[in-house]
């Protein structure tokens, strides 16, 4: 096995993303030690039962001591408090990152707490499912998916490259951009679509003329896809909409205008307008499939059994 990329990695938060990173580090031998911190004892014990790390801590400050890389795997709204809690225990030269779905707000919340002797490289894997918690993670989650890094102008390039190497080792593709641009792009490709799913499922649930059992019984596959997305973690998505407010509102305004013109086309029987749009959108779906970016393959990975390669001597690669 090749040399591990890092000596010690600390993961703060061990839900879907934290546990998927932990499984990658363990099964691919990417670090010698993985310390895990989470605020609830039961979650920590579950992470231990799943053998996701090499040490387990209720205090995140204990987990980050001596770590070369610290990744916050928490809801976006909790990153500032976590940065404050670990700041004085960070090793000089450590790389600090996160996986939050919003970047500008995470930078604004975390940066004031971080000491000047660490390298801050925010990140976001564009890969996930509607599942959460330490049992949800799987090795293949990041394979052939993009991870976006949003280094700041003053970020040391070598730190960004070390983090890029870790993500590449998980099978991800890596691109860098500014936090602001990330938030605009993600608003339209991820955040607004989730809002639409939450809204349509909520509307169906509130109908007086169609019963809930009819909604469940007759739901067509399009509606079922929305219900999967609308089953995503409420805390995580509340935080995303509260912190990416500007970009989401901007994209929603565009969306509402376009929806109004579709309404008009239906009202006035303008079949040509409907047909033209549906032809353009079909081409977009076809290019996504061609690029191998549809989600079914990503979720398929969860069905594969987990390996358990931590042995008594420590991490693989030792």
Ligand X SMILES: O=C(O)C(=O)Cc1ccc(O)cc1
Residues near ligand NAI (CB under 6 A) are 13-18, 38-40, 43, 73-76, 78, 99-101, 124-125, 128-129, 132-133, 233, 236, 240
Q: Which of 38, 101, 132, 244 binds ligand X (CB under 6 A)?
A: 101
Q: Does 190 bind ligand X (CB under 6 A)?
A: yes
Q: How many residues bind ligand X (CB under 6 A)?
A: 9
* Shortest Å, Cβ 148 to ligand X: 10
Beta bridge pairs of residue 55: 35
Examine residue 229 and tell whether it contacts ligand X (CB under 6 A).
yes
Task: Determine, following the binding rule CB under 6 A, whether residue 143 of this chain makes contact with ligand X.
Answer: no
Residue 160 lies near ligand X (rule: CB under 6 A): no
Q: What is the smallest separation between the CB atom of 248 and ligand X, expressed in angstroms?
A: 13
The C-alpha atoms of residue 119 and residue 156 are separated, in whole angstroms, by 7
**Residue (32 or 103) nearer to ligand X, CB:** 103
Q: Are 22 and 304 in contact (CB under 8 A)?
A: no
The Cα 81–Cα 89 span in angstroms is: 14
Minimal distance, residue 54 CB to ligand NAI, in Å? 17
- Of the candidate spans 55-63, 126-134, 153-161, 280-288, the one that interacts with ligand X by CB under 6 A turns out to be 126-134
Stretch touching ligand X by CB under 6 A, among 1-9, 71-79, 103-111, 123-131: 123-131
Q: What is the number of alpha carbons within 13 Å of residue 283 lying toward its C-beta? A: 5
From ligand X, ligand NAI, none, interface partner of 64 (C-beta below 5 to 8 A by class):
none
Q: How many CB atoms lie within 10 A of CB 310?
A: 16
DSSP 191: I
**Helix ranges restricted to H, 65-154:** 79-86, 104-110
Look at residue 295 and give the partner it binds from ligand X, ligand NAI, none, a contact being a CB closer than 5 to 8 Å depending on partner kind: ligand X
Residue 177 CB partners (closer than 8 Å, separation 6+)? 148, 150, 185
Nearest-angstrom CA–CA distance, 234 and 244: 15
Count of helix runs (H) and strand runs (E) in the chain: 14, 9
Measure the CA–CA gap between 299 and 294, rounded to whole angstroms: 10
Is 150 near ligand X (CB under 6 A)? no
C-alpha 270/C-alpha 175 separation (Å) is: 41
Give rounded-to-5 percent helix, strand, coil for the chain.
55, 15, 30
Task: Report the residue count for the chain.
Answer: 318
80 binds, among ligand X, ligand NAI, none (CB under 5 to 8 A by kind): none
Q: Which two tokens stand for residue 13?
A: 């938060």
Nearer to ligand NAI, 43 or 54 (CB): 43
Query: Least Å distance between CB 172 and ligand NAI?
Result: 11
- Binding partner selected for residue 18 from ligand NAI, ligand X, none, CB under the kind-specific 5 to 8 Å limit: ligand NAI
Question: Closest distance between ligand X and the C-beta of residue 41, in Å?
Answer: 27
Identify which of residues 67 and 139 has a Cβ nearer to ligand X in the complex. Answer: 139
Q: At closest approach, how far in Å is the CB of 109 from ligand X?
A: 17
Give the residues lining the site for ligand X (CB under 6 A): 101, 126-130, 190, 229, 295
């Amino acid at each position: 096995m090749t040399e591990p990329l890092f000596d010690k990695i600390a993961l703060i938060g061990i839900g879907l993303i934290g546990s998927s990173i932990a499984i990658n580090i363990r099964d691919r031998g990417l670090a010698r030690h993985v310390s895990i911190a989470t605020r609830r004892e039961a979650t920590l014990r579950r992470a231990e039962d799943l053998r996701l790390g090499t040490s387990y801590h209720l205090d995140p400050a204990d987990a980050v001591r001596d770590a070369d890389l610290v990744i916050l795997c928490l809801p976006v709204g909790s990153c500032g408090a976590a940065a404050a809690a670990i700041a004085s225990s960070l090793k000089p030269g450590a790389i600090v990152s996160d996986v939050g779905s919003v970047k500008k707000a995470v930078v604004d919340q975390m940066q004031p707490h971080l000491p000047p002797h660490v390298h801050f490289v925010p990140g976001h894997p564009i890969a996930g499912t509607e599942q959460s918690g330490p049992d949800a993670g799987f090795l293949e989650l990041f394979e052939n998916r993009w991870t976006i890094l949003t280094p700041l102008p003053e970020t040391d390039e070598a730190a960004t490259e070390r983090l890029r190497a870790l993500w590449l080792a998980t099978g991800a593709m890596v691109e860098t951009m500014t936090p602001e641009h990330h938030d605009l792009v993600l608003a339209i490709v991820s955040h607004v679509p989730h809002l639409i799913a939450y809204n349509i499922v909520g509307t169906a649930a509130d109908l007086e003329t169609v019963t809930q059992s009819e909604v469940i019984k007759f739901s067509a596959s399009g509606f079922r896809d929305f219900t999967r997305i609308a089953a995503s973690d409420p805390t995580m998505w509340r935080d995303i909409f509260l912190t990416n407010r500007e970009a989401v509102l901007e994209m929603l305004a565009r969306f509402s205008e376009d929806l109004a013109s579709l309404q008009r086309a239906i009202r006035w029987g303008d079949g040509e307008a409907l047909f033209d749009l549906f032809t353009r959108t079909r081409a977009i779906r076809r290019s996504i499939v061609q690029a191998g970016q549809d989600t079914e393959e990503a979720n398929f990975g969860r069905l594969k059994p987990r390996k358990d390669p931590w042995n008594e001597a420590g991490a693989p690669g030792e």
